[in-house]
Structure 1
Amino acid sequence: MQGSLIDHYGPTPVFERMSKHGSKIAKVVMNPGQDLFARVGSMIAYEGLIDFNPQPPQLGRIASSWATGEGVPLMTATGQGLLYLADYGKEVIVAQLAGEGLSVNGKNILAFDAALQWNIERVRGVTMLSGMGMFNVVLRGHGWVALTAKGNPIVLDTREAPTFVDTDALVAYTDGLRVEPRRTARLGGLIGRGSGEAFQLGFSGQGFVVVQPSEDERPTMSLRG
């Protein structure tokens, strides 16, 4: 029985620093000197010797500077072995940055290499629509990042045509894209509908946008004044 279970559900071969096991687990190869920042509570298992330091001081500004009520506690993972991460059965997206930047909704961050540069930046265009700001975490440099999505995400190529997205379904986009707001209806006529039918963010340029098939559970966007 053990052999059959391992054959069907055992870990897949390791070829890169970060990969997926199935669609809902991120697998990270840990080595000394290659620290990882991960969402607190996302560790589901590990093989080897790996330590965790919850909320290191240098990450305090992530939790304190995000949208009200959306502080995301992070931890540092160090050591050697294989680390498995997940977030309540959400779909996992794994990407390698090769010098470019990625703007990510904080709720969708699962883990990223500590070697990446990061900053909290205002999403252009949202203030024009709402009078308030939406803030993302922008990751830049060379390294790996793992994101989550509620359902199987779609990645849209913004080179092909201007792409418009409901802000509540937006997971991430290439940093440097042109971002413009678009209003398509009056809010007063959309009672009972989501914000996406009223206004969207438009993206164009060289890059992509990641969208999840589920809007934010709250009635409004992740905003703060």
Structure 2
Amino acid sequence: MSKYSIEAFVNETKENPQERDYFELEKPQLLEINLNNQSVWTKIGSMVGYIGNIKFEKQGMLSGGLGNLLKKAISGEGARLMKAEGTGKLYVADSGKKVRILHLNNESVCVNGNDVLAHEQSIKNDITMLKSVAGMMSGGLFQVKLSGTGHIAITTHGDPLTLLVTPENPVFTDPNATVAWSGNLSPELKTNVSFKSLIGRGSGEEFQMKFSGSGWVLIQPYEEVYSVEK
């Protein structure tokens, strides 16, 4: 059999039937969710395929009391989740970004809203916002605090790097490159006046997130800019 035959291609790329974990990394950029009469939350538009009897229902993440003005300020697609329910295999991905699976054990993490790919129904999600409007304009629109016990899946452009935050060494990051951080940290938004005066108002480096205390911050080698829908 030629290594370039269709049969060889199928054998190389087919899914592994031995993998039965609830959340399974089928490929670095592709998450497999094995549902057994269960429900899971996934990012709207992330479904790329499924096998079995699975139903989908759109849900607004922002229906928990945030004002209409705030809802309009946040990108509609990035701010919404889809509920998938039933039995079968569900495959989700997001623009070729790498997927990381985390299992929370009565813990919490904060994730940039655009980087939440999926989470178990047992996980609670709460929208948190940077207090400064400038944070929204620089691309760090909103964060989702995921807490409880269960699986979550987040996405990054390229291979991420974790920076440790200590009381002696706070960490500063670009909001557009910041993916997630430990749930006990509350970032502040800092303005770098010298950058503003040096290269004008168009630079993302004008705004920085400052993390103080003890914990960690996950950054990606990419500055992700989000579109805002009116």
Same fold (TM over 0.5): yes
Name the CA shift for 1:68/1:181 in 2 (closer, same or farther; >3 Å): closer
**What amino acid sits opposite 1:61 in the alignment?**
S
Does structure 1 conserve the Cα–Cα contact (< 8 Å) formed by 2:42 and 2:118? yes
Q: Which residue of 1 aligns with 2:31?
A: 26
Q: Which residue of 1 aligns with 2:55?
A: 51
Q: Which residue of 1 aligns with 2:204?
A: 195
Q: Which residue of 2 aligns with 1:177?
A: 185
| Mapped partners of 2:188, 2:144: distance in 1 | 19
Name the CA shift for 1:97/1:83 in 2 (closer, same or farther; >3 Å): same
Equivalences, count: 214
Q: Which residue of 1 aligns with 2:63?
A: 61
Residue 131 of structure 1 deviates from its aligned partner by 9.9
Name the CA shift for 1:192/1:128 in 2 (closer, same or farther; >3 Å): closer
| Mapped partners of 1:95, 1:131: distance in 2 | 27
| Mapped partners of 2:7, 2:85: distance in 1 | 31
User: Please, which runs of 5 or more residues in structure 2 have no aligned partner?
Assistant: none
Does structure 2 conserve the Cα–Cα contact (< 8 Å) formed by 1:154 and 1:210? yes
| Mapped partners of 2:72, 2:164: distance in 1 | 28
Give the alignment partner of residue 162 of structure 1, picking from 166, 170, 181: 170
Q: Which residue of 1 aligns with 2:39?
A: 35
Residue 118 of structure 1 pairs with residue 125 of structure 2 = yes
Residue 154 of structure 1 deviates from its aligned partner by 1.9
| Mapped partners of 2:158, 2:31: distance in 1 | 15
| Mapped partners of 1:66, 1:154: distance in 2 | 31
Name the CA shift for 1:130/1:7 in 2 (closer, same or farther; >3 Å): closer
Give matches, 1:87-106, under 5 Å: 87-106=94-113
Provide TM-score, normalisation by structure 1: 0.80
Give the alignment partner of residue 142 of structure 1, picking from 139, 142, 149: 149
User: Please, which runs of 5 or more residues in structure 1 have no aligned partner?
Assistant: none
Provide TM-score, normalisation by structure 2: 0.78
Secondary structure of 2:95's partner? Answer: coil
Residue 211 of structure 1 deviates from its aligned partner by 1.3
| Mapped partners of 2:133, 2:82: distance in 1 | 34
Q: Which residue of 1 aligns with 2:8?
A: 4
Q: Which residue of 2 aligns with 1:152?
A: 159
Does structure 1 conserve the Cα–Cα contact (< 8 Å) formed by 2:74 and 2:141? no
| Mapped partners of 2:103, 2:214: distance in 1 | 17
Residue 168 of structure 1 deviates from its aligned partner by 1.3
* CA RMSD in angstroms, aligned pairs only: 3.1
Does structure 1 conserve the Cα–Cα contact (< 8 Å) formed by 2:62 and 2:71? no
